[in-house]
Every structure is written in C-alpha cells, then in structure tokens.
Structure 1
Amino acid sequence: MKVLSVLGRCSQLPAFYKFTIIGVFALILIASFQTGPVDFREHWDKLRRPKKNGLADGIPLRVMFIGASMTLGEHSTGERGFRKQVRDWLVSQGNEVNYVGQNRYGDFLDNDVQAFGAQPIKPTLDRCKEIVPQTQPNLILINAGSSDCFQQNHWGPAFILQKMRALVDYLFEASPRATIIMSTIITSPWDNVEDCVKSANAQIRQVAADLIREGRPVVLAEMHHDQGLPGRVEKAHIGKDNMHPIDAGYFIMGDIFIESIQDVEEKGWLQPPINNGIPFDGEAERHAEEAKSEKQIQEHKPEEHAEAGEKKAEAEVKPSNAGRRRHA
C-alpha cells in the first residue's frame, strides 16, 4: 500500500520532476548492469540532451584537433581527454561528425587527431602541411604551446606569437572553409613553467585578437583561470605528473570548447566541408575499414592453408636432413 501511495503522489508532480526522477532511476539501472567504472556524466548527458536539427542547419562537421599530449588526452580514463566529450555533444546536436588527422589515439571509435606527444608549435605546423590539404576540415580546434613551455631548453616562450600566427595562416590557406577555435594553455603547478604559460598565453591572445580584427572566423577558448572566468582548470585539476589534467580537468576543457563551438555557430561561420571523398560519419568510416580488413584476412586464409598443405606434402616426400644423419 505504501508503494501505491508513493506512486500516486509521484503522478501528481510536475512533468519536469517526473522526468528527473525517471532519469535518476535510469542511471541506477544502468550502473547496476555495468561491470566497470560508470561514466555517470556521459549517461546523464545522453538523457538531458535530446537530438536537435544540428548546428548550422545540420551540416557535416569534419573536425581536426591540433596540439600535443593534452590534445591526445594522455593520463585520462581511456585516453579520451576532451575529444570524445566534444564529439558526443556534436552528435547529440544532430550533426554527422568525422574526426580527421594523422594519428589515432584514445578508447573510442572515431579517434583521429592531429596531435603528437611532446610536440611544440613549429613541428605541429610542419606536420599539418602533410595532412590538412587532403582532409580539408571545416572545424579546427587548437590547443598548442604547452610542450614549448615544458621543453624550455629547446623551445620556450620566444616567438610563440609568430609561430602560432604562421600555423593559423597556413590552416586558412590550406582549408579555406575552416572555422578555427584557438585556445590558451591551462595552468601549471611548476612556477617556471607557469611563467612560460602566462607569456605564451599573452601571445596566443594577441594572435587571436589580430585575426578577429581582420575579420577571420576565429574565436578564443580561454583555458587559464588568471582571466577571472569561472569554470577553468585549477591546480587541483592537474594529475600526479604535474602536467596533464585529471578527468575533471579534461571535462572542464571540453566544456569550454563546446561553448566556443556554440559561439561560432551563433556567428554563422560554420561552412559545409568540401566534398573530397572523405565520409561525413567517422564512425561509419571506421566500421567500413574494419569490415574491409576482416574481409581481406578471410580472403588470405585459404591461400595460407594451401601453402601450408604444399609444404607439408613436400616434407612427406623429401627425407629430412635429420633423417639422413640417423641413417648414416
């Protein structure tokens, strides 16, 4: 009777509270069937973010993340960092998404990325020249410069303004339909690195300001807490290696990137990608690749069996060297 009474009271609640209660119970049920750690935030986002018509009228988004180990998501759960979070959100808006880049990293399907561990800005530009003309991304997100500060003996904060400007100028030249989100570098618990970070960030902000003044489709995703903005990475969000964020820090970075994507969409800057043969759906592309690889493996198996049979037959006909020695 008590259960019926509770259900009766729940039925009288406003619709918002009903959906909230249902969502909580759904999370509990999901957790009860999980064998590993549960990403409650991911499940909750799926419940509260219904599909929409898509950003920029649902155009396909060919996305390139550019940077170093932080862009890869090193030391995060599944090495996913903020990239999977951003992709899940984009898909939830109703867009087809394909991540592009020379590297594949992280425990999720469409994990292509233009980032490499310990890579400063100058080598980043050199590698972009190898891939951007072929892929032609229409949304580029840059988080570069931290490796310059972690390798001050070789790089440091000198000329970051010129190097970052050269990188962005090239990206617009190689991919004219791109909208670019530049980001500053998160805080560091090491004082000497933090000094470099603040110098680098000042130069990155200047590059962004110059490009915006010139009318280029660029926005700045501010990652450092020293600008007085809420919801930024603090020292408490840095992991044991004193370099990379913990999961909570990566989530914060992802939220900031998502806010910037919403900003460029509101400005009307997102353009459809050029039709160069690259599939619009990165997960479908990966499934097709895996199916093709599996088919090729199956096709080669009969040949391998035939070769093995021929070798076995030859061995039975020809006496072995060991046999000759035994008969000698």
Structure 2
Amino acid sequence: MTTVTNYERWPEDEGVRSSGEWHEPPELLLERMRSKIGSVLYGKEEVISKVLAAFLAGGHVLLEDVPGVGKTMLARAFAAVIGGQFKRIQLTADMQPADVTGGSVWDGRSGSFLFVPGPIMANVVLADELNRTPPRTQSALLEAMEERCVTTDGESRRLPEPFMLIATQNPWDYEGTFALPEAQTDRFMMRLSIGYPSVEHEVRLLAALADNRSVDPSGLKPVVAVEEWRRMQRECKTVHVHPDLLPFAVSIVSETRAAVELEAGASPRASRDWLRAAQATAYMEGRRFLLPDDLLATAEPVLAHRLTVLPAYAASGQTAATVLDRIIRSTPMPASVAGRRRR
C-alpha cells in the first residue's frame, strides 16, 4: 500500500465516503484479490494492479504481448476472484461476428427460432489474438464494449453485469495479423504488457510445476461476490476530484491533439477513461479523494495507445509514450494541488 505523507484533508473531501458498511474495508478485499491473482502469475504485481483498476473503473484491457506469458491465466484468475463467469474466444481469420455474439437457430420441437448466446455473454471474456481476425469480426465487439449489449436478428440483448473484456493482440509485425481499427483501440481503457518473467520468478514457476504445486486459476476461491464487485464499481465513481485537477488533465489531453509529433491525439473518451482509472487507483489504496499522482500513474496505460506518431518522428525513435511524457512534464500542475504528492 502507498503511504501519503504531508497530507491534510481538503475541505471538499468531507463526507465523501459512501453509505453502508463492508465486512472488511474494500481496499483490504482488493489487496487480497491482488494476492490471489499473484499466486498464479508470479512477479507481475504492477500489471495485476492496473488490470484491477481498469475493471474497477468499468473499462476493458488490451494486452499486447508475445504468446505464453500468462494472459489467459490472468483473465481466468480475475473471473475466479470475483465469482464471475469466464468465457474465452479464440479469434481466427475465418471467424464470423455471429461466432462472437451468438445467433438464432431453428428448434424443430418448438417450431421456432431460439437464440443461442455466444461466448460474449459472460462476466469476464478473453478475446484471444484479436488482431488475427478480420476487421468485420473485430467490429462485433464494439457495441458490446461500449453499450454493454449485442444486437442480433434486429434485437438488442443486454450483457451480464459486470462485463469486462480482456483482449490480447500479437505484436503488429507477426505474420497473419490485422491492424485494429482506431475506433476499437479507443474503447480499451488501458493497453498493458505482461512481459517475460524474471529469472527468479520463472524458476519459481518451474519449481511449482515440478513439485505439482501449481495453482489452477479457475480453482481460486472468490474473494467477493459479483454484487460486491458491482458495489465497488459504483463506490469508486464517488471518489472526490479536486476541481483544479480537471483543467490539468484536460490540458494534457488537449496538447496531444496539437503535438507536432502526433497524427492523432486522445479523444474525449480518453479523458473520461483517464479520470475513472485514476479514481479507481485511489479507491484501491483506501482513499476517497484523488491525488495528482493517481492521474500521473495511469496516464501512459490509458492514453498512449490512443496516440499515433507521425512516420517521420517514429523513424527518429519517438514513441507515443515518449511524446506523452514530454507533454506531461511541460504541463504545469496547479499550485493548489501540487503539494498533494506522494513522497
């Protein structure tokens, strides 16, 4: 847990705790969730924390990584600790939209069409190798991600609550991959990378396998019930935001739209997602007020994947992350909140 030093409560923060009592403080439950997921994904505490923050904020996560580093394990473990239903979609080049959303089939007994739900109808859905399927099938996920429903045969059907999507994509230069449409990339709250384990953690993984002590992620016991998780999602939206932090965040987002290195900047949806992710980060630490560092800690995973670097600047080594870092460093923080920093 992060310690905040030299802090005095802002007057606006009084009375922002939500009503109702928990049997345990939510931050302790969330810490236990992180610990349980960490028992199957060794040494990836930072990634686990960011995934939890994104889902707590009601967002979706795009994992861009090489195969075999634990992306499926992470999704299964998360579904288990909230007691939710997990479904996996292995996306391929010949997959059709109905293979994701479901569709109607003729039932000879009843003499009518019946709707057969697709794998998107679950609390936690893993869309594996999203960029191996054509854009038409990728677009089948757009409505589900934003509207929390799917439309088939002219009828809209609500998805389960909560609904969270983890999509994985292979590096862009892998054979047989399609680029993700910008509209879809923008609907992911965060883009993260798990990365290879350290030598120490890979030895620990092999030792657990050799001794038959490895943990099946789907066998993890729930830490919270689905309704408790939904309550956490509602409560984290009430985390207080100092009014002066909002212009600071908007200034950074606006600058991405004007930066000479960038072809495309961040959208208003990005601003919304950034604020929600920062609120969730504060909530996970047991605070009901936002610190500037909550915004700074979530800036890159929320904003960088929405930025497109012009080829001339990309050739010189510029990336979305480095451009964003320059913008943040050059944007002055309001004096009224600059002292509310972690030591």
TM class by shorter chain equals under 0.3
Normalization by structure 2: what TM-score? 0.27
Which structure: larger Rg?
Answer: 1
Normalization by structure 1: what TM-score? 0.28
Q: Which protein is richer in helix relative to its size?
A: 1
Structure with larger RCO (C-alpha < 8 A, sep 6+):
2
Q: Which protein is richer in strand relative to its size?
A: 2
